[in-house]
Structures are given as C-alpha cells and as structure tokens.
Amino acid sequence: MNSFFSQPTLQLAQSLIGMELVHESKEGITSGIIVETEAYMGPEDRAAHSYGGRRTKRTEVMFDQPGSIYMYFIYGMHVCFNIVSGPPGKPEAVLIRALEPVSGIALMEKRRYSSWKRSPAQARKIMHLTSGPGKLCQAMGLGLELYGSKMNKGPVFLKENKKIPASMIEAGPRINVHYAGEAAEYPWRFWLRGSPYVSKS
C-alpha cells in the first residue's frame, strides 16, 4: 500500500479519483469519494509552493516520504489538504480539491454551517459541503494538526472503492494559479467526469 503513494505524481493524482478518504475524529467519522485533485510538481512547477526547491517550515513535509500529509493555511481563513508524493527529496504533492460525501453527512453539515455568521436559514445543499479544497477540510474536520502525519497510519486514511475507468477522468488547467505563467496552463487538474461535486470556477 505504501507503493500506492510512490506512483509518479501525475499518475497518483488520477489514481486517487474514486478512492474514499476517511477521517476518524473524536466527533465522529466522515468520509467521501475523491472526485477532484491537482498535481503540484515540485521545483520546476511555478505554481507549487516548493517551486525552486523552496524549503521552509511550511514546505518541509513535501521533502518527506510519499503519503505524508501536507496541510497549509491560506487566504487568512482556509486550510487545504494535500498528499505528499514523489520520492523523498522531490517535493511534489497532490491537492485534494473535492469529495462526494459518503459518511457522516450530518457532522459535515454541523461543521460547516453551525458557526454560520450570516443567514443560517438558507437551505444549503449537499453539493456545497465538500466541493472545494477549503470546504472539504472544514466538513471533514481536517486541520493543521495533521501536518506531517502519514496517510493510513492515523485518523486519515484511504479506502478502496470501485475502480474508475480512465475514460471517466478528465484533465484541465489548475485553479487559481494565474501567477504561475506557462505552468498555469498545464493540464494537471483531474476530475471525475460529470460529478456534481467537482469545485466550480
């Protein structure tokens, strides 16, 4: 299973589509099928946090074993969940961008909407629970404390699910990496064809 994370990063990003991501937290279990990922290819990828081999407290974990968990805080208010890939010393990672909720949907709703500041009466739809990298972390209860821990050796792990044929996986440019020049065009975002849970815009 460790070899699963040792796949080349672009391949791993596609293999993850269709797998079930599970988080066993104190509050309860939540899980969802991964329907959207993005690959970040390390020192040569201008969109990557590890571009140019940048090695800081934040990016350090990307130099660790594949299957390590990279969490980061962004825009002053969101966290994102990534799985480190590439051999040790090659700082690559796969960002999990969207899930189709499976287990613990009530808990997901609670986590996302209980501290709702504005109109709580609005009917929120299940597609808004995990259809984005920040949303899924909130719904799944994935926080910065997971930084550096290992997939399948703690409260966060993958479950095999039904195999997704390659023809069901689409590829396109990554989201919000306009600062990355040419790299912004690379088709390193992958998603499950037709899934309503894929992030918008």
Task: Say if residue 44 is exposed, middle or buried (CB neighbours under 10 Å; 0-12, 13-18, 19+).
Answer: exposed
Ramachandran category for residue 109: left, alpha or beta (phi over 0 → left; psi -120 to 50 → alpha): alpha
Binding region for DNA (CB under 7 A) out of 13-21, 111-119, 161-169, 181-189: 111-119
Q: Does 67 bind DNA (CB under 7 A)?
A: no
Q: What is the size of the binding site for DNA (CB under 7 A)?
A: 40
Which residue from 3, 26, 115, 118 is in contact with DNA, where contact means CB under 7 A? Answer: 118
Residue 80 interacting with DNA (CB under 7 A): yes
CB nearer DNA, residue 12 or residue 47? 47
Measured from the CB atom, the residue of 120 and 160 that comes closer to DNA is 120
Q: Which residues contact 149 (CB under 8 A, 6 or more apart)?
A: 68, 69, 156
Nearby residues of 73 by Cβ (< 8 Å), 6 or more positions away: 79, 144
Is residue 141 at the binding interface for DNA, with CB under 7 A as the rule? no
User: Does position 38 bind DNA by CB under 7 A?
Assistant: yes
Based on CB atoms, which residue is closest to DNA, 115 or 167?
115
DSSP 17: T
- Residues 100 and 70: their CA atoms lie apart, in Å, by 21
Q: What is the dihedral of CA 141, 174, 157, 107, to 10 degrees?
A: 30
> What tokens were used for 17?
């589509």
Query: Minimum distance from CB of 32 to DNA (Å)?
Result: 13
The stretch near DNA (CB under 7 A) out of 11-19, 27-35, 77-85, 187-195 is 77-85
Told to check if 100 binds DNA by CB under 7 A, we report no
* Residue 36 binding DNA, by CB under 7 A: no
Dihedral sign for Cα 66, 198, 167, 46, please. negative
Q: In the bound complex, what is the minimum distance in angstroms from residue 102's beta carbon to DNA?
A: 18
Cα dist from 201 to 42, 132, 180, whole Å: 24, 10, 17
Asked whether position 73 contacts DNA by CB under 7 A, the answer is yes
Segment 145 to 174, residues that bind DNA, using CB under 7 A: 174
Q: Under the criterion CB under 7 A, does residue 135 sit at the interface with DNA?
A: yes
